[in-house]
Structure 1
Amino acid sequence: MNKEVNHVLQGSLLTLVVIGAIKVGGFLMSIPPPPEEPKEPVVGICGNAAISPKNPATYSKGKVLFQENCSSCHSVFKDLTGPALGGVSQRLPDRKMVYKWVRNPAAVLKSGNVYFNTLKKRFGDVQMTAFDNLSNDEIDAILDYVESH
C-alpha cells in the first residue's frame, strides 16, 4: 500500500514540476500554431528549410552558376577550401567590391583590403581563383541563390 501511495505522490509531484516548467511569467505558454504554408512557389528543400526565392528564374541561373564556378571551394553552409557563402551579402554589402573580388582577387588583395587579406590568412593563404568571365548579373544570380537558403 505504501508503494502505491508513493507512486501516486511521485506522479503528482512530477506533474506539478512539468506544469511549473512551462509557466512563463505566471501564465501558461500556449502552443504556437503550425507554420503557414509558403505563399511563394517552393523551388527546393535545403536542409529542413523550404527555399522560396524572390525570383525563381534568377535562383535557377544562380544555382547552375554556383555549381559550375563556386561549389568546388565553397558551400552555402560550411567552410571548405573557402568560406561558407551563406550571409555573404550581409558581410559584404558593397556589390561593387564583390564584383572586383570575384573577377580579380589578386588585385583586391594587393590593394590592401583588410577584409579579404584577413580571409585569405584564415584559409591558409589560399587565394581565390579569378572569375573574370562572370558578368555582374551572373554574380548577382549566384549571390541571390546563396542568400535564398
Structure 2
Amino acid sequence: MASVIKMVGDNLNFIVPVVAGLAAAFVAVTAPALAATAATLGLNMALLANPIGLVVAGIGLAIAAFQEFGDEIDIFGDGMSNLKDVAQAVWDMITETVGEACDWISGLWSDLTGFLDESVGSWQDIFNSVMGFIYAVVSTQINAVINTFATAYMLGKRGLEQCAAVFQ
C-alpha cells in the first residue's frame, strides 16, 4: 500500500491533469443540463403562480357550478327567470361588446404590423435574425462541450501514457 501511495505522490504532475480534465468534462456536461432544469422549474413555478391561471381555474369552476345548479336558482323570486336565463342575456351582451372590442384590437394590430413591416422589415426577417442568434449561441456551447471532452481525452491519454512509462 505504501508503494502505491509513494508512486502516486511521485507522479502527481501526471495524475493531476488527468483528474482536472475529467472534472472539467463532467462540469461541462452537467452544468448546461442543471441550468436548463432550473430554468424549466422556474418557468413552471411562474406559470403556476400566474394570476391568469387562477382566474381561468375560477371561471372553469363557476361554469361547472352554473351547469349543475343554473336551472334551480330563481333570481327574482317570481319563479319566472332562473340563473341560466339571466346568464344567457348577460352572455349575449358580453359577446357583442367583446366582438366589437376584438374588431377594434384587430384593426390596431393590423396597423401596428403594417407600420413595423414598413419601418423595421418583415416578421420573417426578424425571426430569421433571432433564430440565427440562437443557433450561434447553441453551436458555441456545443463546440465548447466537444472541445472540453477532446481536451479531457487528450489529457487522460497523456497521463495514462506517462503512467505506463512509470510502470515499465
- TM class by shorter chain equals under 0.3
The structure richer in helix per residue is 2
Structure whose CA Rg is larger: 2
Larger RCO (CA within 8 A; separation ≥ 6):
2
The structure richer in strand per residue is 1
Taking structure 1 as the reference length, the TM-score comes to 0.20
Taking structure 2 as the reference length, the TM-score comes to 0.19
